Amino acid sequence: MLRKSISVFTVREQRARPTLSRARLFITWTLFFLVLFSLVTVWWADRQLRAPLHRWAELHVRNIGQRAITEAVQDVLSQDPELARAEFVRQLPAAADGTAAWQYDWTRLHRLETEITRRVLESLNALAGESIPVPLGELLGVDILAGAGPLIPVRIKPGGAVSSDVEFVFTAVGINQVLHEIAVRTDVQMRVIAPLVSDEFRVSQRIPLSTVILQGRVPQVFVEWKSGSMEEFIQTGLAGQILPGQ
C-alpha cells in the first residue's frame, strides 16, 4: 500500500512541472526576430548612408568655414580704415652701392592677424548648436527622391582652435625684379555631429592682402646660365643668352 502511494505521488509531481506555453514561445521568437531585424536595419542604414552623409557634411562644413573666414577679413578691413590702407611693406632708401632694402610693418601685420582670428572665432561660436535638416532622399542619391523623406538633423559646431598665419610669397618676374605677395592663411577645425557621422574637418582659406613688385638695381649685362660647363655654354650660343640691361 505504501509503494502505490509513493508511485502515485511521483507521477502527480512530474505532471505538475511547468511547461512553456505556445503563446509564450511565439512571443519569445517574435521578439528575437524583431531585435535581429532592427540590428540588420541599423547595419544596412549605416552602410548606405554613412558615405553620402559624410560627403554632404564635409561640403557644407567647408562652405561655412570659408564663408566665416572671408567675412571676418572683410569686416576687419572695412571697420578699420587704417588697416585697409596700410602699406605692409615699404622700401628703404637705397644704399650707396645701389642695394635695395624693404621693411615690413610687423605691428600692423600682427594686429591684422589677431583681429582676423578673433572675428572668425566669433562667427563660429554663433554656429554652436545650429542644426541643418537634411532630407533622407537627398542622401540616398536617387534624383526622383531628392528632397523627399524624413529630415535628418545635422549639427555643425567648432571642434578646435582657429589659427591665422601671415604668408610671404616671392616670385621672380624679371631681371632683378620680384613679385612679392602678402597673404593671410586661416585654419579652422570644424566638427559635424549627425546620427551616423561624427567627424572633424579642417577648413583652410588663404586671402591675399598686398602685392608689390620689388625692384632692384638692373645690371648692365645678364647671363642666363643654368647648367653645364663654360665651353658648352659658349658653343650653344653665347650671344643668344646674354641680355643687355635696361
DSSP string, 174-230: ETTEEEEEEEEEEEEEEEEE-SS-EEEEEEEEEEEEEEEEEE-PPPSEEE---SS-H
Q: Say if CB 162 and CB 188 are below 8 A apart.
A: yes
Q: Does position 117 have pLDDT exceeding 60, yes or no?
A: yes
Q: Which domain holds residue 237?
A: 218-246
Does residue 167 sit in the same domain as residue 222?
A: no
Render pLDDT for 159-176 as a digit per residue (tens, 0 to 9): 667 888 888 888 888 777
> How confident is the model at residue 16, as a pLDDT?
47
In terms of average pLDDT, the best of 56-60, 218-222, 229-233 is 56-60
Mean local confidence (pLDDT), 214-227: 68
Mean local confidence (pLDDT), 11-18: 49
Does residue 242 sit in the same domain as residue 146?
A: no
Render pLDDT for 49-58 as a digit per residue (tens, 0 to 9): 677 777 777 7
Q: Does position 214 have pLDDT exceeding 50, yes or no?
A: yes
> How confident is the model at residue 131, as a pLDDT?
67
> How confident is the model at residue 243, as a pLDDT?
47
Does residue 65 sit in the same domain as residue 162?
A: yes
Does residue 227 sit in the same domain as residue 143?
A: no
Q: Does position 111 have pLDDT exceeding 60, yes or no?
A: yes
Q: Does position 219 have pLDDT exceeding 60, yes or no?
A: yes
Q: How many domains does the chain have?
A: 2
Burial of 52 (0-12, 13-18, 19+ CB in 10 A): middle
Q: Let me know if residue 22 belongs to a domain.
A: no
**pLDDT class for 197, splitting at 50, 70, 90?**
low
